[in-house]
Amino acid sequence: MRKYNYFDDDDSAISDVRDRVRAADPAPVHDTVEIGDALRAFSRSRGEKVITVARNVLSKNPFEELENASKRKKRTVSFSMFFVFIVFLVVLVLATVHSVNKENDRIAKFSADAGAVCTQYLVQYGNTNYENLYSRYGVEGYRMTGLCYAREVDFDRDGTSELLLAFNDSGEYYTEVWGYVHGKFSVMFHEKATQTKKKAGDAWITVYSKSNRYYIGLHDEDDIEKVSLYGLHGDKFEKDYTCTYDKTAEAFSVRKKVDAASFERIKLAVLSEQKASVTLNLVLSTVDGFSADGGDASVKAAAINSSLEGSYYRIVEELNQKYGFAKYVESNGLAYIDGLAVVDLVDFNGDGTDELVVIYRKTVKSRTEDYMGNYISTEESKYYIEVYRYNGSGAVLAYKGEGISNSLNDTDEQYYILKTENGRFFYCQNSFSVSDYGRSVSASSTIMKFNKTTLVPTFSASYHSEYGYTQYYLEDKSVYKNEFDAEAYKVPFFDGSDSYDDGQFVVNYLQRGSRDSGTVEGQVEKTVSTIKKLNSSYDPE
């Protein structure tokens, strides 16, 4: 069977096309035979259309047509590229806006959570402040109290911040880091801060930076010169490096090479007054920068109840559960009140709103020296005082003190003093510390007033006696003995006498020798009576 060629009848037309192409370009890129073969690849009808188109094209200059087509293609490509650029720009802007919004949300969430934690700690441990160490311990300098330090740090440089905190709890400093663990703002790190000597000595936080990451340094309790550096890995702090600390030079070394640039020693105690003031302002500024609203419910400072009575009673309940109900005890020649010994309502500033005073007794560990000069750990029971104010919606801690008043002639004697004057109340405290079989004595006397948010000293006197040589101070200023004798003895018993003006001072004994038990035993009844003012159904039984 003969194979039919659709272009057999049009060979003359194809020849004409070939001739026209050759005439247009004597050296064509493609052989005209290929053109003919290509044209024959179409059906007869299609071949006719192609031939017609070819003739129309060849009536003009084919290479001009190709150039025009190239220009049109360039314009099409240029428009396409411009369109793609616009689309890319829009996507980039939207991605940037989304990223900024996400970052703002992250910052807002951290601010709210960090603010809630700081509020909780201000309530629990007291407002950020500082106190003079000499009046209580005979040590020159100041120490931070309450919430001592707050700082935003991205420890692992993952773009999500952590909250570095330090607080003073009954004279001991603690370091904490809060961060996000499975989406919840939680404690990632909790350790005691470094202290060279308990309560009265130097205290600080060690922070180390390397390759844009931050580490917390923990000093060995038995050898302060050995330091372990902990970094954040995921949601846990793990030991990464070690270094050494020269306590004389106060310098850190890595691989026996002093590194002054990478270490930060954040001092919390034995500060100059100027440095303590700078730290105070820094912490207040940081905390004020956090949001007061929002945050995880688990870390919000509870308002407790809306009423003053309900707020204060909740505090009493918590302390009763923690330290026990007020209880009269006689043991080893002492009569004392155990547990939550004092609950008192006092309108310190005469504004018609009572503040809550609570004093509780607890056992704490302390370090002392034995007869050979070695440090040993001992346990002792001490009283602690806290004052709460009502802010309209809940109870807020206004003051926390370690210890109450004692006497020079009997340091085991413990008492609580209030002074009344012009419709206001003032908290008074005497503190005596005797060592080296009476050859060393440190004494202080303080009167504090309430300034609407906290108790602040309005008068202070102190002296330090060492082997017969005595230094005297009024308002932390060194004075002669005659001036001290004329001005210092404003608080009962500071001068060693047993008398006082009971029209101006209220004295409640919490611990005395058994022979004076009658002045102690009635305190339990006073405490119960005050609690019943807060909640008439209260039953300590």
Pull the structure tokens for residue 352: 């018609």
Whose structure tokens read 């101070």? 473
Which of 52-61, 239-248, 430-439 reaches the highest mean pLDDT? 239-248
Per-residue pLDDT, averaged over 393-405, amounts to: 88
Q: Compute φ and ψ for 354, nearest 5 degrees.
A: -75, 145
pLDDT number for residue 65: 56
Confidence of residue 31 (pLDDT cuts 50, 70, 90): very low
What's the predicted TM-score (pTM) here?
A: 0.50
Q: Compute φ and ψ for 312, nearest 5 degrees.
A: -70, -40
Q: What is the largest CA-CA distance in the chain?
A: 144
Q: How far apart are CA 247 and CA 393, in angstroms?
A: 48
Question: Tens of pLDDT along 162-192?
Answer: 999 999 887 789 999 999 998 899 999 999 9
Q: How far apart are CA 250 and CA 260, in angstroms?
A: 10
Regarding beta strands 455-466 and 184-192, do their DSSP bridges make them parallel or antiparallel, or are they unpaired? unpaired
Q: How far apart are CA 174 and CA 191, in angstroms?
A: 6
Question: For residue 451, is pLDDT > 50?
Answer: yes
| Cα four-point dihedral sign 240, 242, 247, 250 | negative
Q: How far apart are CA 539 and CA 241, in angstroms?
A: 55
Question: For residue 19, is pLDDT > 60?
Answer: no
- Residue-by-residue DSSP string for 513-532: EGGGTHHHHTHHHHHHHHHH
| Cα four-point dihedral sign 482, 488, 493, 494 | negative
Whose structure tokens read 């490509």? 77
Whose structure tokens read 């201000």? 122
- Residue-by-residue DSSP string for 29-97: SS-HHHHHHHHHTS-HHHHHHHHHHHHHHHTS-HHHHHHHHHHHHHHHHHHHHHHHHHHHHHHHHHHHH
SS (H, E, C) 363-402: EEEEEEECCCCCEEEEEEEEEEEEEEEECCCCEEEEEEEE
- In the chain, DSSP finds a helix count (H) and a strand count (E) of 10, 28
Q: How far apart are CA 155 and CA 462, in angstroms?
A: 44
As beta bridge partners, residue 365 has 379
At how many degrees (to 10) do helices 44-58 and 32-40 cross?
140
Q: How far apart are CA 332 and CA 185, in angstroms?
A: 48
Per-residue pLDDT, averaged over 114-126, amounts to: 83
Nearest to 465, CA basis, from 428, 433, 498: 433
The three-class DSSP label of residue 412 is coil
**DSSP 8-class letter at 353:** -
pLDDT number for residue 82: 74
In contact, 433 and 108? CB cutoff 8 Å: no
Our CA angle for 301, 396, 314, nearest 5°, is 75
Question: For residue 324, is pLDDT > 70?
Answer: yes
Mean pLDDT check: name the lowest of 7-21, 51-65, 138-152, 426-440: 7-21
Average pLDDT over the chain reads 82
The three-class DSSP label of residue 235 is coil
Please count the other Cβ atoms lying within 10 Å of the Cβ belonging to residue 83: 10
Question: For residue 519, is pLDDT > 70?
Answer: yes
**DSSP 8-class letter at 289:** H
Question: For residue 285, is pLDDT > 90?
Answer: no
Q: How far apart are the first and last CA of the chain?
A: 122
In contact, 289 and 369? CB cutoff 8 Å: no
Mean pLDDT check: name the lowest of 18-22, 304-308, 433-437: 18-22
Nearest to 407, CA basis, from 321, 510, 330, 478: 510
The three-class DSSP label of residue 262 is coil
Question: Tens of pLDDT along 268-277?
Answer: 999 998 898 8
Q: Which residues contact 142 (CB under 8 A, 6 or more apart)?
A: 130, 131, 132, 133, 269, 270, 271, 272, 273, 276
Q: How many residues does the chain have?
A: 541
Q: How far apart are CA 194 and CA 221, in angstroms?
A: 8
Nearest to 424, CA basis, from 343, 471, 355, 491: 355
Our CA angle for 449, 454, 457, nearest 5°, is 40
The three-class DSSP label of residue 183 is coil
For residue 199, give Cα distances in angstroms to 33, 139, 158: 105, 11, 36
pLDDT number for residue 367: 64
Half-sphere exposure of 86 (CA within 13 A, CB side): 6
pLDDT number for residue 4: 40
Q: How far apart are CA 197 and CA 295, in angstroms?
A: 37
